[in-house]
Amino acid sequence: MQSEVDGPAKTDIAVDLKGSVFTLPVLQIRTGSIDEIESELTQRLSAALAFFKHAPVVIDLEKLSGEGLDFGALLKLLARRDLVSVGVKNGTAQQNALAVGAGLAVLKGGPLQDILAEGKVTEYTGAQKSTEKTRPVSKKTEPLPTAAKIVTQPVRSGQQVYARGGDLIVMAAVNPGAEIVADGNIHVYAPMKGRALAGVLGDTTARIFCQSMQAELIAIAGNFRVFEDQMPADIRAKHTQAYLDGEQLVVEAL
């Protein structure tokens, strides 16, 4: 029997913790010089100030070449440029410790093919959540065939559509402010006016094809191009493809 001092039974849940998918800009640091970082960052942001205003940013330390980095100064610099620092990735143990001390998260994710190349796949069994099994896989992995995700309705502003593990095919318009994301290729058989991000797990062979290029942003494996003002006449509203040539994002009419 419930005591009067206990009050009514509480049925509402105060918080819940769920997984989700977000596309975050990655700032790849190649030098420990804050002055050099500020100079180049200012130049790059000048072409898309509105798009990156208050954007969350992940700091990639892979190309830092062992140099020291003043995380406190870097965070102040990013804040002055209206960028919100979320965390770091690809850092050494020492760099990660310094980043955590500065209030940053350490992100463990990476391209799926890199995880597979480590030689093991981790499996979790239902009831035994704390138990993991590993099985060897060949370092020469082949991509698993995955059915493409097909979208037949327009993608509205503020909506995100994600094709996990394969290609995304959109048969209707992608409106401004909408976002389409795929681990593989993206095909849009209608006007593409929002944001398209292909190969988001690091697949540098992914491509974007669209019937009418009018995008706000396109990206492949983290390499992006923003069309904040006027899109070049040679691709605007034309059949277009985008692909990577090395680290260069190429956008050209078909």
Q: Report the relative pairing of strands 168-170 and 186-192 from DSSP bridges.
A: parallel
pLDDT interval class at 7 (50, 70, 90) = low
Least-confidence region, from 80-84, 111-115, 245-249: 111-115
159 shares its domain with 220? yes
Please report the pLDDT score of residue 95 as a whole number: 87
123 shares its domain with 203? no
Give the integer Cα–Cα distance in Å for 219 and 248. 11
pLDDT exceeds cutoff 70 at 85? yes
User: How many domains are there within the chain?
Assistant: 3
pLDDT interval class at 134 (50, 70, 90) = very low
pLDDT interval class at 133 (50, 70, 90) = very low
pLDDT exceeds cutoff 50 at 151? yes
* Burial of 154 per CB tally in 10 Å (0-12, 13-18, 19+): middle
Residue 78, domain CATH: 3.30.70.260
pLDDT exceeds cutoff 80 at 130? no
- The larger pLDDT score, comparing residue 121 to residue 186, is at 186
Average pLDDT, the chain: 78
19 domain-assigned: no
Give the integer Cα–Cα distance in Å for 204 and 223. 9
**3-state SS, residue 99:** helix
115 domain-assigned: yes
Note the pLDDT tens digit of each residue in 218-245. Answer: 989 878 888 866 788 889 889 999 999 9
Residue 234, domain CATH: 2.160.20.70
215 shares its domain with 179? yes
Please report the pLDDT score of residue 121 as a whole number: 36
**Long-range CB contacts (within 8 A, 24+) of 74-81:** 74/29, 74/34, 74/37, 75/102, 75/103, 75/104, 77/34, 77/37, 77/38, 77/41, 78/27, 81/41, 81/42, 81/45
223 domain-assigned: yes
Question: Which residue in 216, 213, 186 sits closest to 198, CA to CA?
Answer: 186
Please report the pLDDT score of residue 119 as a whole number: 40
**Percent of the residues in the chain that have a pLDDT greater than 90, as a whole number:** 27
Strands (E), 73-185: 83-89, 105-106, 120-124, 132-136, 149-151, 160-163, 168-170, 179-182
167 shares its domain with 247? yes
Q: Which domain holds residue 67?
A: 26-106
pLDDT exceeds cutoff 60 at 77? yes
Strands (E), 132-238: 132-136, 149-151, 160-163, 168-170, 179-182, 186-192, 195-198, 208-213, 217-220, 223-226
Note the pLDDT tens digit of each residue in 202-221. Answer: 899 999 999 999 998 898 98
Note the pLDDT tens digit of each residue in 108-117. Answer: 755 444 433 4
Q: Are 181 and 160 in contact, with CB atoms under 8 Å apart?
A: yes
Please report the pLDDT score of residue 131 as a whole number: 35
102 shares its domain with 115? no
135 shares its domain with 78? no
